[in-house]
Amino acid sequence: MARALVGVKRVIDYAVKIRVKPDKTGVVTDGIKHSMNPFDEIAIEEAVRMKEKKLVQEIIAVSCGPAQSQDVIRTALAMGADKGIHVEISGPEYETLQPIHVSKILAKLAQDEKADLVIVGKQAIDDDCNQTAQMIGGLLDWPTGTFCSKVEKTNGELNITREVDGGLEVLKMKMPAVLSADLRLNEPRYATLPNIMKAKKKPVKKMTPKDLGIDTAARIDILSVEEPPARQGGVILPDIDTLITKLKEGGHV
Amino acid sequence: MFTACFRTLKISNKYGLLARYESTLVIAEHNNETLLPITCNALSAAKKIGGDVTVLVAGNKCDKVAQSVSKANGVSKVLVADNDAFKGFLPEALTPLIIATQNQHKFTHILAGATAFGKALLPRVAAKLDVSPVSDIIGIKAADTFIRTIYAGNAIQTLKCKDSIKVVSVRGTAFEAVPLEGGNAKCEPAPAGDYKSSLVEFIKQELSKSDRPELTSAKIVVSGGRGLKSGENFQLLYSLADKLNAAVGASRAAVDAGFVPNDLQVGQTGKIVAPDLYIAVGISGAIQHLAGMKDSKTIVAINKDPEAPIFQVADYGLVADLFKAVPELTEKL
């Protein structure tokens, strides 16, 4: 049976309206509500469902980031993951941490833990990169099912339905494989209180990129982070006729 | 000797001549019949970087596509890889081809459009090259300095790439399309090889059929949200869209409720559109939806809730019941 490694990222909660720092170095994260990246919740849920169908034997949840990243590992454990690995990276090193670093860490862990399935969310809602699954696939030379909306396992192979621009696409791939979860893959469960309590007893291994032999030197310099240009406030029109007049003035109709 | 070279480079840079050393490979996106418009936007980004622009057309009986892209303004060479292995345009098959091409030509930049195709492919290529890719750029400041959005379009990041090869996906709506005329590039075969992947097999595609313009390149987009209440009611939007020759989009709520298929979703996790006119009907305007449409030139919102956040970005708002307003608008146009 398969062993699944699932990557989970701690990000600013999706409902928070972010603020850019006045010195343009980044966004304000101190004292802001964080939670598990929504796509990663879907990734964990899929792994847990596979375990419930006896397709997966063990689920290892991994997060790379500062000490607080342990919170999202605990959430993953409460949802049904068996054990956690926290790869601690903080400070300036974390500021310039890119999917290339994370994918190297996850690829190494996948090998060390003898995983044959790596599942991550399709993108993190903070950096919006959409790269990690693809890069893990490249590093391990494993087939990669990106933007999955359906995953089925038959005879040791995976049947993947992907969300592509014009509709859907179906692929068949061999294990070991990497998958990235799209929104439509499933509806993540809530962690119940008893499960949250149980999760506290599950093991979480702490390590550093150095332990894994991964170099996290910056691949980019962040020159600035700025507010997007604000849109000019519009007007509320009284009726359809006025709207049509405005659209005609604008040359739209 | 080494120092001399270095000095020359430094001097060239000082006079802004470094651009002469750039060479960009653009991965064409196509369906073996026609080139997809996003490739023309990626070409325009490549021109902005400067230097030579080469296009790689990989597919199965893709000659027609290679011919059409060879006429694009500013393209100096087209590399063609025609092989059964590229059926379904799988990254597992395309990546070794791109690496072989890179090894032969030593490009400084590898570009593609930030579509489902480009997003699935480029990071795999970058991993093989051991470089950090840059996703979905909206601007180019210098050959190594790019602008992109983060946090669902709520912040704009300017970053400088330290890697020697830049692997970059391009947001189509942020760059003008290069016309497929005025050029006369040579078509050459791409490096040959055994690219067939035994690990993954393309089974089928189920594309939604529509006579309306394609969502990401349409001049006008009419989008519906939860307020439409059912899939049948989307007919109101289709009628309006047909009147305007517009594409139809949707919010996540409308997709999740099953009113329309997923590929119509506009937003952070769906498509990014920037049409001349965006008409949002029954859409509240969540952060994640705004991420996909707030660069539209003119935004019209029709919503019965005057407090809906969509009105904060709309140029023209109409506080009205969409079931009355939309048929009336269609009627009067």
| Chain A 58-77, residues with CB within 8 Å of chain B CB atoms | none
Give the per-residue pLDDT at B5.
47
pLDDT in tens, A230-249: 888 789 999 999 999 999 99
| pTM reported for the whole predicted model | 0.93
SS3 annotation, chain B = CHHHHHHHHHHHHHCCCHHHHCEEEEECCECCCCECHHHHHHHHHHHHHCCEEEEEEEECCCHHHHHHHHCECCCCEEEEEECHHHCCCCHHHHHHHHHHHHHHHCCCEEEEECCHHHHHHHHHHHHHHCCCCEEEEEEEEECCEEEEEECCCCEEEEEEECCCCEEEEECHHHCCCCCCCECCCEEEECCCCCCCCCCEEEEEEEECCCCCCCHHHCCEEEEECHHHCCCCCHHHHHHHHHHHCCEEEECHHHHHCCCCCHHHEECCCCECCCCCEEEEECCCCCHHHHCCCCCCCEEEEEECCCCCHHHHCCCEEEECCHHHHHHHHHHHC
Give the per-residue pLDDT at B16.
45
| Chain A 228-247, residues with CB within 8 Å of chain B CB atoms | 228, 231-237, 239-241, 243-244, 246-247
Which range among A26-30, A192-196, B7-11, B87-91 shows the weakest confidence by mean pLDDT?
B7-11
Give the per-residue pLDDT at B157.
98
How far A112 CA sits from the closest chain B CA (Å)?
A: 19
Between the CA of residue A9 and those of A71, A76, A215, what are the distances in Å? 10, 10, 19
Query: A173 vs B120: CB contact, 8 Å cut-off?
Result: no
- Please say whether the dihedral angle defined by the alpha carbons of residues A207, A210, A211 and A213, taken in this order, is positive or negative: positive
| Chain A 111-140, residues with CB within 8 Å of chain B CB atoms | 122-123, 125-132, 134-139
Q: Best interface-test mutation with A: which of B132, B168, B208 has the largest number of A CBs within 10 A? A: B132
pLDDT in tens, A116-171: 999 999 999 999 999 999 999 999 999 999 999 999 998 889 999 999 998 999 99
Contacts of A177 in chain B (CB under 8 A): 199
Judged by DSSP in three states, A105 sits in helix
Contacts of B276 in chain A (CB under 8 A): 252
Is the Cβ–Cβ distance between A59 and A51 less than 8 Å? yes
Query: A236 vs B90: CB contact, 8 Å cut-off?
Result: no
**pLDDT score of B15 more than 70:** no
Q: Is A150 on the interface with B (CB under 8 A)?
A: no
Asked casually if ipTM beats, i.e. exceeds, 0.85, the reply is: yes
Percent share of chain B, pLDDT over 90: 92
Q: Best interface-test mutation with A: which of B33, B122, B157 has the largest number of A CBs within 10 A? A: B157
Give the per-residue pLDDT at B20.
52
Length of chain B: 333
Kind plus residue range of the DSSP H or E element containing A87: strand A83-88
- Chain center to CA of A76: 12
| Chain A 172-231, residues with CB within 8 Å of chain B CB atoms | 172-174, 177, 182-184, 218-228, 231
Give the per-residue pLDDT at B209.
83
- Mean of pLDDT values over B203-224: 92
- Chain center to CA of A74: 16
Q: pLDDT higher for A173 or B4? A: A173
Place of tokens 């670093």: A101
Between the CA of residue B263 and those of A169, B204, B208, B270, what are the distances in Å? 12, 16, 8, 7
| Chain B 25-64, residues with CB within 8 Å of chain A CB atoms | none
- Mean of pLDDT values over B16-39: 85
Give the per-residue pLDDT at A231.
86
Query: B252 vs A183: CB contact, 8 Å cut-off?
Result: yes
Give the per-residue pLDDT at B184.
94
Amino acid at B80: V
Contacts of A173 in chain B (CB under 8 A): 199-201
A165 in the Ramachandran plot: left (φ > 0), alpha (ψ -120 to 50) or beta?
Answer: alpha
Query: A137 vs B124: CB contact, 8 Å cut-off?
Result: yes
Give the per-residue pLDDT at B260.
95
Q: How confident is the model at residue B267 (pLDDT cuts 50, 70, 90)?
A: very high
Give the per-residue pLDDT at B14.
39
* CA–CA gap between residue A65 and residue A90 (Å, rounded): 6
Q: How confident is the model at residue A225 (pLDDT cuts 50, 70, 90)?
A: very high
How far B313 CA sits from the closest chain A CA (Å)?
A: 6
- Mean of pLDDT values over B130-156: 97
Judged by DSSP in three states, A36 sits in strand
Q: Is A248 on the interface with B (CB under 8 A)?
A: no
Query: B150 vs A146: CB contact, 8 Å cut-off?
Result: no
Is the Cβ–Cβ distance between B91 and B119 less than 8 Å? no
CB pairs under 8 A between A and B: 248
Contacts of B119 in chain A (CB under 8 A): 130, 134, 146
Nearest-by-Cβ selection for A172 from B203, B216, B318: B203
Is the Cβ–Cβ distance between B304 and B312 less than 8 Å? no
Q: Best interface-test mutation with A: which of B30, B124, B154, B195 has the largest number of A CBs within 10 A? A: B124
| Chain A 154-173, residues with CB within 8 Å of chain B CB atoms | 159, 162-173
Contacts of B299 in chain A (CB under 8 A): 231, 234
